[in-house]
Amino acid sequence: MPVLLAVVLVATYLSVSRRDLDSTESKRLALNFIIARTVEHLELTVASTLLVLLIAIPVGILLTRSFARGVTPPAIAVFNIGQAVPTIGLLLIFAIVWRIGFLPTVIALTAYTTLPVLRNTMVGLTQVDASVIESARGMGMTKFAVLTRIELPLAVPVIMAGLRTALTINVGTATLGAFVGAGGLGSLIVSGFSSNHPFITVVGGVLVAVLALLVDYLAGIAEDVLRPRGL
């Protein structure tokens, strides 16, 4: 995958460098401009993903406890709403009634990608063998110790799979932040459309695709590294 992505980037660079660019293309496809937009894109992705983790994992843990069985279906329904509503719709609503820029984009991305991590957290915890949990409790471990030393480590592979999905979705969806002034690589796509420069749009789309595939590849490595030994 890294070799393939490197080849795509080199091909894109050669295509840009050999093309006779006008003033708009020269400005939008300058290396400094692309690097700045890439940093903004990563900031949107990282910030929203951290919020997803802070929300989805604790809530997922609570919803798998016996005392929360009655509220689990309505809670899942609430998080389903976040993914059912199109992200661009949330962004436009925020832009009209609240503000534009970085923060509303992060909130919209968080609402859209919390569900995969939440579901995988719940699935990972509920799939832990009950006999293992009972054995740990029989050895005198507290409920908190069982959760942190038995359940969560065994659920890591499933949780990481959900996080990997959320990261990839965030990278792609963060392009919509350009419509509300949040920047990112979506700025290339939007400016290409608005100025009738399809080449800028194509380059922006290629860069977003490469970034999404790279993030997915790195998340896959992290998933293997964090997987408990013997699983």
Q: What CATH code is carried by the domain that includes residue 214?
A: 1.10.3720.10
The answer to whether 104 and 94 have CB atoms below 8 angstroms apart is: yes
In a domain, 170, yes or no: yes
In a domain, 53, yes or no: yes
Q: Tell me, what's the pLDDT at 143?
A: 82
In a domain, 209, yes or no: yes
In a domain, 15, yes or no: no
- Please, what is the end-to-end C-alpha distance for the chain in angstroms? 25
* Nearest alpha carbon to residue 121 among 47, 58, 169: 58
Q: How many structural domains comprise the chain?
A: 1
**Please, which residues have CB within 8 angstroms of residue 217's CB and are 6 or more apart in sequence?**
1, 2, 5
In a domain, 140, yes or no: yes
Q: What is the CA radius of gyration of the chain?
A: 21
Q: Is the dihedral of CA 85, 161, 104, 174 positive or negative?
A: negative
Distance CA(74)–CA(36), nearest Å, equals: 41
Degrees (nearest 5) of the Cα angle 91, 92, 98? 80
Q: Tell me, what's the pLDDT at 101?
A: 78
Which amino acid makes up residue 36?
A
pTM: 0.85
* Nearest alpha carbon to residue 164 among 229, 206, 224, 205: 224
In a domain, 16, yes or no: no
Report the chain (231 residues): mean pLDDT per 10 consecutive residues.
Answer: 89 87 85 90 91 91 83 84 75 77 86 88 87 82 84 87 88 86 86 87 91 89 75 51
In a domain, 133, yes or no: yes
In a domain, 17, yes or no: no
Which three-class secondary structure state does DSSP give residue 140?
coil
For 22, phi then psi, to 5°, come to -85, -175
Q: Tell me, what's the pLDDT at 229?
A: 67
Distance CA(51)–CA(89), nearest Å, equals: 20
Domain that holds residue 208: 2-10+23-226
Residue whose tokens read 């999905």: 165
